[in-house]
Amino acid sequence: IPVKFRSCSHSIEQYPTEEFLNAVKEIDNATTAEVADFVGCSYDLAYRRLNELSEDEKITRMKVGSTFIWNLM
C-alpha cells in the first residue's frame, strides 16, 4: 500500500463512516464542528469525510454564511 493511503486507512478504522452518518442523522442541521465533536475527531478530518459522503450522495451539503450544514439524503 502506498504511504499516502496508510494514514487514510487508519482514519477510516479509527473513525468509521457510520459514525459520521450517525452524527448527521442525530444532529438536526449538523455543522462540521458539531459532527467533529460528536465523532471525536478534528474539524479538518470531519470536513474531508463529510465532503466525501456528499460526493457519494449519501448526505447533502448546504452553505449558510461561512458554515456548512449537513443532512442525510
What does the alpha-carbon distance between residue 54 and residue 70 come to, in Å, rounded to a whole number?
8
Grid coordinates of 70 = 449537513
pLDDT for residue 14: 86
- pLDDT value of residue 39: 96
Task: List Cα–Cα distances, 63 to 6, 18, 69, in angstroms.
Answer: 31, 23, 6
**pLDDT confidence tier of residue 3, bands split at 50, 70 and 90:** very low
pLDDT of residue 12: 58
Residues 9-36: tens digit of each pLDDT = 455 578 999 999 999 999 999 999 999 9
